[in-house]
Structure 1
Amino acid sequence: MTSPHQLLWTGFRGLDAPEVALPFKPGGLVLFARNLDPDPEAGPARCRALIDGLQARFGADLPLAVALDQEGGPVSRLRPWVGATPPLRQVWTRGGAEACAAWGRLWGEGLHLLGFNVDFAPVVDLWDGHPEAGIGDRAASADPAEVASAAGAFLHGLESTGVRGCLKHFPGLGGTTLDSHLGLPALEEAARVDRNAAAFIPLAHADRLVMVAHLRTPASAPLPASLHRGSVVENPWGIQGRFLPDDLEMGGCADWTWDDRVRLSLEAGHQWLLVCQTPEGWTACAEAAGRLPESLYRVPLQAARAMRRNLVPAAPFDARAWQAWLGRLQTTAGEA
């Protein structure tokens, strides 16, 4: 049986493939600013060489899922290369669905050139005016229907390029006042949870990536929704998807041991285990996964591998195509 380590979508250290040290073979990789050379001339080609090298090393039998968070605005891993870009709220407010689709397509085209096949975007949380909670203008609107329209258009543009999107942060962080990177936010009113979740309903389907938040709700307490089966595959809104928890190193789930985080994630119905920040974290997650009985990881592993088989391969890196794309993106940003 294939190793449960292939359930991990892991971060890593290093900017070049030979220096990347992982004590296991993951199923997916997540890149951060620490993995990207900030030099706008050398950085893009170096990023592509890094991804190609890791695909050759870990994805020879089955392509790796390779992701990053590229929303635009405050969450833009490509900022050193592309400059400032508008957040989703600004794009939606000024240009509506057409502009959201155009930005999704732009980001997808650039990510595809770099070798990425997944973008952890768009945000489907509701805007609530609480920037200290970590969402702010990353959310398009306070209205669920408008958020669904904005995020749906962004997804349509993004996925037209062969790059998968990911709905986040289900069932919605709107109305929270604590950043889940730091601790476990909570919503006390079921009606607020229902309103947040309404934005996801038109967008989710069985083959769509859905990232679940570390968020305590009346239904999930004392667990975060991310570790609660009744908030994931058995959620009351009937939302389906390829579920994955938000980063399992975040403060929102730090009160649980690694064995519990991993076990509860799979019991909840997640197909992936997202662990991104430190060697200690991804090693502990991998070790906990290795202690699981096969009965717990067999089905999610089959599902994760099925998704990997359908990832769209990237063509060889083309520096001229990158420069042409960069010019279009910067022109669009200047007009936003």
Structure 2
Amino acid sequence: MQHAPAHRLLWTGFNGLDAAEVQPGFQPGGIVLFARNLDPDPAAGPARCHALIQDLQARWGPLAVAVDQEGGPVSRLRAWVGPTPALRAIWTHGGADGCRRWGGLWGRGLHMLGFNVDFAPVADLYDPAPDAALGSRCAADTPEAATAAAGAFLAGLEAEGVRGCLKHFPGLGGTRLDSHVGLPEVTDPARLDVHVGPFQALAHPDRLVMVAHLRTPLSGGLPGSLSFRCVAGNPWGIQARWLPDDLEMGGADGFTWEDKARRCLEAGHEALLVCQTPAAAEACAEAVTRLPETLWAPAAARFRALRLRLPRRADPFEATAWKAWVDEIREAAAQVP
């Protein structure tokens, strides 16, 4: 299979609201937009976002274009649509039908903007403790219910042409330390066997699954995101299109960029998420190019094959349809306590 250059493995964040501002010094295979990339003006912002994505697709396509749009506390579109319910509230109030509806709503809006991947839903188990790291981002406290909620959300999202991504394998539910800050740990193998349940039920070889920076009994002291035994060599036999959580997070500190890139590829990831600073993205891109081609080429080919299958919108922004969608989102949000 034909493969892309090594730096096309990067799935990166960037600074700027318009394509002319985005000059990372290399050609990524994927981009991730955050609130910093979205003009908060609800009248001008959506069309500006659409133009940004179209311009970058024209320059670098085919691109995987992602956003973290879960709803609730993780809602990059908040400035345009207002507050929306978290997955916990959606599941509690509306069950699987509610989760499917909200997955479909987010999918429809993201597709209008030009996104083809949503880094959602959270498939971790809910922990009611006030200091839980994930809180209301998780739907339910049993594997069966969490599977039903995440699976329904995925079905709604992907019916609208936007790929979902299960996170955070093998399960951050019950942890207290935020992996953005440091490295959380799970020491009980039996707990892992329970928390991995939704991923076992919903993952398959073509499913995007994000791996947490989480130390486990399997990871040999490493973050699980950098360990073969926690990714492609996991003991549950789960197969997926693996992605590490953002490699700039505190949970992945303590490694050079070359070491992070090498360990990620050895673990079985097919893309490298570097989301926060241009300097880190460039350092990671340079590090990947120094690795043996035999290490990075299979991942590059697999990621390229995915990108070729993701939709790319070429039509103008539809302001009237967008306004109707925003009204529908606000009406649906008002129905969830």
Question: TM-score per shorter chain, which class?
Answer: over 0.9
Q: Distance in 1 between matches of 2:311 and 2:252?
A: 33
**Number of the residue aligned with 1:164:** 163
Q: Deviations over 1:191-240 (max 9, x none)?
A: 11111101211100100100000000011121111011011111111111
Instruction: Could you tell me which runs of 5 or more consecutive residues in structure 2 were left unpaired when the two chains were aligned.
Output: none
**Number of the residue aligned with 1:327:** 327
**Number of the residue aligned with 2:23:** 21
Q: Deviations over 1:100-130 (max 9, x none)?
A: 0000000000000000000000000111124
Q: What SS does the aligned partner of 2:196 have?
A: helix
**Number of the residue aligned with 1:51:** 53
- Whether 2:238 is the aligned partner of 1:236: answer no
Once the two structures are superposed, the pairs formed by residues 120-159 of structure 1 within 5 Å of their partners are 120-130=119-129, 132-159=131-158
Q: Give runs of ≥4 in structure 1 deviating > 4 Å.
A: none
Q: Distance in 1 between matches of 2:73 and 2:115?
A: 20
**Number of the residue aligned with 2:279:** 280
Q: 1:133 to 1:292 in 2, by over 3 A?
A: farther
**Number of the residue aligned with 1:88:** 87
**Number of the residue aligned with 1:6:** 8
> Is the CA contact (8 Å cut-off) linking 1:245 and 1:265 kept in structure 2?
yes
Q: Distance in 1 between matches of 2:283 and 2:133?
A: 26
Coordinate RMSD, CA, aligned: 1.0
Q: CA deviation at 1:133?
A: 4.6
Q: CA deviation at 1:134?
A: 3.2
Q: Deviations over 1:41-98 (max 9, x none)?
A: 0000000011111111111xxx100001000000000000000000000000010000
Letter in 1 for 2:213: H
Matched positions, count = 333
- Whether 2:276 is the aligned partner of 1:261: answer no
Q: Distance in 1 between matches of 2:257 and 2:128?
A: 34
Letter in 1 for 2:40: P
Instruction: Could you tell me which runs of 5 or more consecutive residues in structure 1 were left unpaired when the two chains were aligned.
Output: none
Q: What SS does the aligned partner of 2:317 have?
A: coil
Identity %: 62
Q: Distance in 2 between matches of 1:238 and 1:26?
A: 30
Larger relative CO (CA 8 A, sep 6+): 1 or 2? 2
Q: CA deviation at 1:177?
A: 1.2
**Number of the residue aligned with 1:37:** 39
Q: CA deviation at 1:333?
A: 0.6
Q: Distance in 2 between matches of 1:279 and 1:134?
A: 27
Q: Distance in 2 between matches of 1:287 and 1:310?
A: 27
**Number of the residue aligned with 2:172:** 173
Q: What SS does the aligned partner of 1:29 have?
A: strand
